[in-house]
């Protein structure tokens, strides 16, 4: 099964995404700190899709994305930003770093499922 | 400058209340989501959105806590400057006002930025933007 990792400093946000993805044919790993997810990626974890929050302490979503692009195994891994942030300049920064898409919270469960299905090319 | 000390005390109180609200709302939502997951209940769009509002509330409150901390720091700097040289007090007061104005502006901007979809008035179709 494809591996999807979620990174969000909010436990409640992770719970919301878990409730939506638990019926999908994917393996899900969740992290409250981008640094921990990054360390596991550097240690060999190969996610098929990364979904990350933007505003997080220690390492924010864009810093995380920049680090991901510097690791050969995730230099081209599809990555979605799932955030309450709506600032256009930040979207542009993400786009320049090869971000796949931007999802504004609160997300629609059906559309989050569709987005994951589309990016991973899962059977609809 | 007793008035500023009172303002500082009030800001500290507001910050403490906001931190308690964040803690309580997180605890409340985690209990609800644990119940939903434990009982394998399927959530619909409305419930999912309601659960996600907690995250937005937390971010909004954290942004205003940041503004409060910044204002309290500015008050502290002013009070120290005023103690060391009363002649500098007027100049320091002007600087304090400039800092307050800038902090308020930033806090208002964050309120708009961190409101998520609720502030955008957007339709479902533009919820997810692919690049």
B6 CB within 8 Å of a chain A CB? no
A72 CB within 8 Å of a chain B CB? no
Nearest by CB to residue A19, choosing from B33, B119, B131, is B33
Domain spans of chain B? 2-115
Give this complex's ipTM. Answer: 0.77
The predicted pLDDT at position B124 comes to 47
pLDDT grade for B118, boundaries at 50, 70 and 90: low
Q: Which two tokens stand for residue A50?
A: 């990364």
Contact A106 B56 (CB under 8 A): yes
Nearest by CB to residue B113, choosing from A11, A85, A102, is A85
The predicted pLDDT at position B2 comes to 75
Contacts of B49 in chain A (CB under 8 A): 106, 108
Contacts of B128 in chain A (CB under 8 A): 101-104, 107, 111-112, 115
CB of B55 closer than 8 Å to CB of A84: yes
How many domains would you assign to chain A?
1
What global pTM score does this model have?
Answer: 0.83
Q: For residue range B76-107, what is the model confidence (pLDDT) as tens digits? A: 988 887 777 777 777 778 888 888 899 999 88
A120 CB within 8 Å of a chain B CB? no
| Ranges in chain A, pLDDT < 70 | none
**Closest chain B residue to A109 measured between Cα atoms?**
B45
B56 CB within 8 Å of a chain A CB? yes
Highest-confidence segment of A65-74, B35-44, B108-117 = A65-74
Contact A16 B51 (CB under 8 A): yes
A20 CB within 8 Å of a chain B CB? yes
Q: What's the CATH number where A18 sits?
A: 3.40.50.2300
Phi, psi dihedral angles at A56 (to 5 degrees)? -135, 150
Q: What CA–CA distance (Å, rounded) separates A52 from A58? A: 14
Name which residue leads in pLDDT, A80 or B113.
A80
How far CA B85 is from CA of A82, B54, B71, B81, B100, in Å, comes to: 50, 47, 21, 6, 22
Instruction: Measure in Å the smallest separation between the Cα of A17 and chain B Cα atoms.
Output: 9
B39 CB within 8 Å of a chain A CB? no
Q: What CA–CA distance (Å, rounded) separates B82 from B91? A: 10
Domain span at residue A115?
3-120
């Amino acid at each position: 099964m494809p591996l999807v990792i979620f990174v969000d400093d909010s436990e409640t946000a992770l719970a919301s995404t878990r409730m939506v993805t638990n019926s999908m044919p994917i393996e899900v790993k969740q992290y409250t700190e981008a640094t921990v997810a990054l360390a596991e990626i550097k240690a060999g974890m190969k996610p098929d899709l990364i979904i990350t929050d933007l505003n997080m302490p220690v390492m924010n979503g864009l810093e995380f994305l920049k680090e991901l692009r510097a690791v050969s195994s995730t230099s081209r891994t599809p990555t979605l930003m799932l955030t309450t942030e709506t600032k256009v300049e930040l979207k542009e920064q993400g786009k320049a770093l090869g971000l796949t898409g931007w999802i504004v919270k609160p997300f629609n469960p059906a559309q989050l499922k569709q987005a994951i299905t589309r990016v991973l090319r899962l059977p609809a | 400058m007793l008035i500023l000390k009172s303002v500082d005390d009030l800001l500290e109180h507001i910050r403490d209340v906001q931190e308690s609200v964040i803690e309580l709302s997180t605890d409340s939502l985690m209990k609800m989501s644990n119940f939903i997951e434990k009982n394998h209940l399927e959530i619909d769009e409305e419930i999912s959105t309601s659960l996600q509002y907690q995250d937005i509330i937390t971010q909004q409150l954290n942004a205003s806590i940041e503004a409060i901390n910044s204002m309290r720091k500015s008050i502290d700097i002013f009070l120290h400057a005023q103690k060391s040289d009363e002649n500098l007090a007027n100049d320091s007061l002007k600087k304090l006002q400039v800092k307050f104005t800038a902090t308020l502006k930033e806090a208002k901007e964050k309120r708009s930025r961190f409101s998520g979809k609720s502030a955008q008035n957007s339709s479902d179709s533009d919820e997810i933007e692919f690049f």
